[in-house]
Amino acid sequence: MALMSVGGLEMAVGSFDDAGQHLTETRDLAERFDNDWLKGASRMRLGLLELARGRLDDARAQFDQALDLSLASDTAYNVILCLDAFVQLAVAEGDPERAALFAGAAGGLRRRAGMQVFTSLTGEVQMVARIREALEANRFDKAFAAGSVLGREEAVAAVRDYRGVARRTSLARPEQGQ
């Protein structure tokens, strides 16, 4: 946990190489100790690092692994964090409507599970504001509301569908090198 926290702080100040070392070490320790929760969490953080570096395909691969591991370990907290990560990926790929749907799904699952938003990790409030700005208010409200009523299986199915769409088409903006 300490390494993952240090990696997160290093990401926040733009020290991506140091963050990569600490997050990779976290992932390796999770594998060594066969800790399913940490396996998923470390890959989600590695994905956020790749996203910060602008490497969207690498971020998606890490998020895919994180989601699969979180589902396999039945870790609700990690599944919700993975949905938050896919929100950020959808924004980076220029799909604010999908991002609003995923944000609604993560928020709805979090609310029903009685979990608080860990804003220092997800930046959910700022991210939702950016998504709202990118869409007209009515479109945002509809997509967010549709996501907020999704159950876990439905939310995961929406992400898996998005993963398939993202692989079949180039949703990334050209200036991001994708």
Pair 172, 93: CB distance under 8 Å: yes
Furthest-apart CA pair in the chain: how many Å?
A: 48
Q: Cα dist. 119→6, 92, 133 in Å? A: 16, 19, 19
* pLDDT (tens digit per residue) in 113-130: 988 776 554 466 778 888
Among 67, 97, 60, CA closest to 81: 67
Among 116, 43, 111, 47, CA closest to 73: 43
Q: How far apart are CA 11 and CA 67, in angstroms?
A: 21
Q: Letter for the amino acid at 37?
A: W
pTM, full prediction: 0.86
Helices 76-92, 96-113: crossing angle, 10 deg rounding: 160
Q: Kindly state the tokens that stand for 138.
A: 């009515």
The residue to which tokens 């690092």 are assigned: 49
Q: How far apart are CA 78 and CA 48, in angstroms?
A: 14
What percent of the chain is modeled with pLDDT above 90?
70
Q: How far apart are CA 71 and CA 63, in angstroms?
A: 12
How sure is the predictor about 165, in pLDDT bands with cuts at 50, 70 and 90?
Answer: low
Q: Kindly state the tokens that stand for 40.
A: 């998923």
* pLDDT (tens digit per residue) in 43-90: 999 999 999 999 999 999 999 999 999 999 888 889 999 999 999 999
Pair 92, 100: CB distance under 8 Å: no
Domain spans in the chain, listed from the N-terminal domain onward: 1-57, 75-171
Q: Determine if residue 117 is left, alpha or beta; phi over 0 gives left, psi from -120 to 50 gives alpha, anything else beta.
A: beta
